[in-house]
Structure 1
C-alpha cells in the first residue's frame, strides 16, 4: 500500500486467518481517503469480498489464460485506481508463480506502480516457509508481515516473519469481539458509512475502525521511509 499508485496483495497460504476482512477494510480506507480503489476477489469458492463491496470489487479467475490476462491487464492499467487483491489460499501458489513467470512486478515497477504484499502471519511453519520464499523470489515486491490478533494472541511466531527492513514493525490488525463481528458481517455494512453516521461518538466499533485505519496510514509512512532509505543506499 502506498500513496503512489499501488497493487496491494492481501495473502497467506492458510485458510480463515482474516484475509478478506483485511482486504475489505483496506479498500474502504482508501475510498474514505478520497482515492479511487477497486478490489479483486480471488477466492474461487467464496466471493465474500464481492458480497460486501459489490460496487468496488471485481471477481477474478486465474484458472484460465484468458482470466489471467484480464486480471493482469487491469492491475497495470494506465489509470489512477488503487488495486487491492484478496488472494484466497487456493490461488496463493499459482498467483505468485504467474507473477514470476510474466514479470508483473518488474512491469509494474517500470510504470511507477508499487506492488505490496500484506502477508498474514500464523504459527504454522508452512506459512513461514512461504513468506521466506516470496521474499527470496520476488525482491521487487514490498513484503509486509501482518499480525492479526484473531489468529493468535501470542506473537512469538512473528520472529519467523522478519520485516525486510530491520526494525520495521509489522501491521497489527486488532481482533473484533463476537458482537462487533456480527455487526460488520451484516449485508451492506460499510466501515466508512459507519464512521460518518456516528461522527463525534466513541463507540467500540468506531474505535476499532479508527485503529485499523491508523495502522494503514502508519504503514504508508513506513513504506515511504523504506523507499527513501533504499534510494539513499543506491546513491
Structure 2
C-alpha cells in the first residue's frame, strides 16, 4: 500500500547551512521513488530550488499577499501528491504566519496529507529553541531535525526519531553540482561521468548520508500513526 501524500517543509532559522541542498536531495529522492513531487520555492526572486526543477516548481513571493494565497491555494486544492516547500530563513516568520492563517495543519489533514518538517538545527542554541517553537505552531506529523556536520549543531545527541545528517561539499565538487544542469538524481542512478573519479566517493558519502535519514522518515510516520490510532 503506497504511503499517503506528504507535505515536506524544509527550513531553518539560519542561512547558508545546506537547506536548499537538502531540499534538492529530497526532491530527487522522491523522484527516484516515483513519488512525483511538486515544489514551492519561497526564495523569490532568486529561485534557488527552481533553478534545478523548473518544470515542477512554483516560485512564491511571500512579501505579497497574492503570493501567499497562491501557495496555499495550490497546495490545498490539489491533493494526492507529495509537495516540497523550500523556506529561506528570511521568510520563515512570514511562512509560519501564513500557515497559521491558512490552518495548514487542519486543512492538510482533512485532505489526507501528512505534514513533515525538516529543520536544519544550527549550532546556536537559539536554533534549537526555534525548532521547538515551530513544532508547536505547525503541529506536523513529524519534525525531523537535520544536522549539518560542517556547520555544527545545538541538537543534543540521542534524540528519538529520525535525524538527517548533511556533510559539507566544498571546492571543485561544489562548483560541479551547483550547475543547474547537473542532476543529483542521475548521479545516484549511476551516471557519474560529470564528476571526476577522485570526487565521486565524497559526493556518494554526502548523498547516501542524507538519503539514509530520509528513508527512515516514512516508516517512522507510519508507526507513529498506528500508535496514535491505538490510543
TM-score, normalised relative to structure 1: 0.85
Please give the per-residue CA displacement for 1:181-230, whole angstroms capped at 9, x wherever unaligned: 2221123111111233438x994123433332222112222222222222
Please give the per-residue CA displacement for 1:108-130, whole angstroms capped at 9, x wherever unaligned: 01111011111110122331221
| Secondary structure at the counterpart of residue 151 of structure 1 | coil
In the alignment, structure 1 residue 231 sits paired with structure 2 residue 224:
no
* Residue in structure 1 matched with residue 92 of structure 2 by the alignment: 92
Please give the per-residue CA displacement for 1:52-76, whole angstroms capped at 9, x wherever unaligned: 2212221012222221111101112
* Residue in structure 2 matched with residue 33 of structure 1 by the alignment: 33
* Residue in structure 2 matched with residue 17 of structure 1 by the alignment: 17
Conserved in 2, the CA contact under 8 Å of 1:7 and 1:115? yes
Structure 1: where are the runs of 5+ without partners? Answer: none
- Following superposition, the deviation at residue 20 of structure 1 comes to 0.6
TM-score, normalised relative to structure 2: 0.86
Please give the per-residue CA displacement for 1:116-149, whole angstroms capped at 9, x wherever unaligned: 1111101223312211211223324521211122
| Secondary structure at the counterpart of residue 227 of structure 2 | helix
Conserved in 1, the CA contact under 8 Å of 2:20 and 2:48? yes
For the residues of structure 2 that align with 1:101 and 1:141, how far apart are their CA atoms?
Answer: 19
Conserved in 2, the CA contact under 8 Å of 1:51 and 1:187? yes
For the residues of structure 1 that align with 2:95 and 2:149, how far apart are their CA atoms?
Answer: 26
Shifted more, 189-198 versus 30-39: the winner is: 189-198
* Residue in structure 2 matched with residue 186 of structure 1 by the alignment: 179
What RMSD over aligned residues (CA atoms) do the two structures have, in Å?
2.4
For the residues of structure 2 that align with 1:136 and 1:21, how far apart are their CA atoms?
Answer: 26
Q: 1:213 to 1:140 in 2, by over 3 A?
A: closer
Structure 2: where are the runs of 5+ without partners? Answer: none
For the residues of structure 1 that align with 2:161 and 2:210, how far apart are their CA atoms?
Answer: 18
